[in-house]
């Protein structure tokens, strides 16, 4: 979708919103898949309520992009624009055991920065790509921890009230790869309360998680992490592997040879290829195990 109306363009400039025409979403997602649309880069949280009022008044559909690391975007010209926060400098401020973090901050760099200041707890997340906002929305987790456990406060734009609100941790429910945020809520910033731990000890935890990840996941390849959520008490990766589906391909969309719940873009996969692979694997697992796998990856298709 392209914004060409002169009045909208003038308002965007007044709001300090940077417009990048015809951006390829393939370049903004870890899967390397996705068509083109206009990208609106937001420099000030405070401009968001007015920006969204402007877009809604002009029937410009929109989606919020974090780090693009858990996302499968449709092909071709996309019917909505994409909003993305620009990270301020600095994007993490520490105050005792509290870390005030902008949603656009890189997750890995945030974990490392906190570690260097003897704040731990998030070691398991070190190899998870993406932004802090994206991790928060999904309640990202690995190796027995999840980000939600450390959330003290969240600054969020709530589409329902059209306001920026501060939510306390206890007002939000964090479940396995799921939170109580509405789909159109936009994460803006979070305050994490992290346990004190000596840097060396945190580093050791980070090394162990990195090693586990390196030995079991296809890190050098284009992927969106795990495609399916694990059904209660079992592993989607193990089931797909047991069915002998590693290497199964539709075009360049392929089940990873290393971890069967990672589907990689082995070249120039389209969203159509990837969606066909997902549907095919889901059907085979359903037939063999009677289990309906639920997507972990977020799909923006239409
Ligand atoms: N397994 C296989 N074959 C495979 C993959 C896994 O047999 O191809 C077996 C493993 O040997 C192991 C079991 O399945 O016995 C579980 O595998 P793993 O430890 O890799 O964990 P997972 O359940 O597949 C989950 C998360 C990962 C997270 C790891 C480590 C989900 C969907 N996946 O994977 O998160 O990194 O645990 O904590 O919850 C993600 O969210 O995108 C993600 C990758």
CA dist., res. 3 & res. 8, Å (int): 8
Ligand 1 center from residue 260 Cα (angstroms): 9
| Residue-wise DSSP of 176-191 | TTEESS-TT-EEEEEE
When pLDDT is averaged across residues 163-191 and rounded to a whole number, the result is 96
Q: What integer pLDDT is reported at residue 246 of this predicted model?
A: 98
Tokens of 61: 């559909």
24 Cα distance to chain centroid: 17
CA dist., res. 149 & res. 274, Å (int): 33
3-state secondary structure of 298: strand
CA dist., res. 259 & res. 122, Å (int): 23
Kindly give the pairing relationship between strand 98-102 and strand 263-265: unpaired
Alpha helices in 145-302 (DSSP H): 199-216, 236-242, 271-289
Nearest to 179 by CA among 154, 161, 159: 154
Quick: pLDDT tens for 34-53.
999 999 999 999 999 999 99
Quick: pLDDT tens for 229-273.
999 999 999 999 999 999 999 999 999 999 999 999 999 999 999
The CB of 129 under 6 Å from ligand 1? The reply is no
- Give a three-class secondary structure readout of 65-125: ECCCCCEEECCCECCCEEEEECCCCCCEEEECCEEEEECCCEHHHHHHHHHHCCECCCHHH
CA dist., res. 48 & res. 157, Å (int): 8
User: Residues 67, 130: contact at Cβ < 8 Å?
Assistant: yes
Residue nearest atom 20 in ligand 1 by C-alpha distance? 216
User: Residues 215, 232: contact at Cβ < 8 Å?
Assistant: no
Q: Residue 286's pLDDT band (boundaries 50, 70, 90)?
A: very high
Count of Cβ atoms closer than 10 Å to residue 264 Cβ: 24
Quick: pLDDT tens for 71-112.
999 999 999 999 999 999 999 999 999 999 999 999 999 999
The CB of 241 under 6 Å from ligand 1? The reply is yes
Nearest to 299 by CA among 232, 224, 240: 224
The CB of 260 under 6 Å from ligand 1? The reply is yes
Angle made by CA atoms 81, 85, 91, in degrees to the nearest 5: 170
Residue nearest atom 12 in ligand 1 by C-alpha distance? 238
CA dist., res. 185 & res. 188, Å (int): 9
CA dist., res. 220 & res. 223, Å (int): 9
Tokens of 152: 């003290």
CA dist., res. 145 & res. 288, Å (int): 31
Radius of gyration of the chain (CA): 20
Q: What integer pLDDT is reported at residue 302 of this predicted model?
A: 78
The CB of 139 under 6 Å from ligand 1? The reply is no
């Amino acid at each position: 979708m392209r914004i060409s109306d002169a009045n909208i363009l003038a308002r965007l400039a007044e709001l300090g919103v940077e417009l990048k025409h015809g951006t390829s979403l393939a370049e903004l997602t870890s899967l390397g898949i996705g068509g083109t649309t206009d990208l609106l880069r937001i420099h000030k949280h405070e401009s968001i309520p007015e920006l969204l009022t402007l877009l809604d008044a002009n029937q410009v559909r929109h989606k919020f992009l974090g780090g693009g690391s858990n996302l499968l975007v449709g092909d071709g010209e996309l019917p909505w624009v994409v909003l993305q926060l620009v990270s301020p400098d600095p994007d993490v401020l520490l105050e005792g055991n509290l870390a005030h973090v902008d949603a656009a901050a890189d997750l890995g760099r945030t974990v490392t920065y906190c570690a260097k200041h003897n704040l731990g707890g998030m070691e398991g997340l070190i190899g998870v790509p993406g932004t802090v906002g994206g991790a928060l929305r999904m309640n990202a987790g690995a190796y027995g921890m999840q980000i939600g456990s450390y959330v003290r406060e969240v600054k969020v734009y709530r589409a329902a009230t059209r306001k920026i609100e501060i939510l306390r941790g206890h007002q939000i429910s964090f479940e396995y790869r799921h939170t109580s945020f509405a789909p159109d809520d936009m994460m803006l910033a979070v305050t994490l309360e992290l346990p004190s731990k000596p840097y060396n000890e945190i580093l050791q935890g980070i090394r162990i998680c990195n090693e586990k990840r390196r030995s079991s996941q296809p890190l050098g390849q284009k992927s969106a992490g795990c495609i399916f959520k694990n059904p209660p008490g079992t592993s989607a990766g193990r089931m797909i592997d047991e069915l002998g589906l590693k290497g199964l391909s539709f075009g360049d969309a392929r089940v990873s040879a290393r971890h069967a719940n990672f589907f990689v873009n082995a070249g120039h996969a389209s969203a159509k290829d990837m969606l066909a692979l997902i549907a095919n694997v889901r059907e085979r697992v359903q037939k063999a195990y009677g289990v309906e796998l639920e997507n972990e990856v977020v799909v923006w298709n239409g």
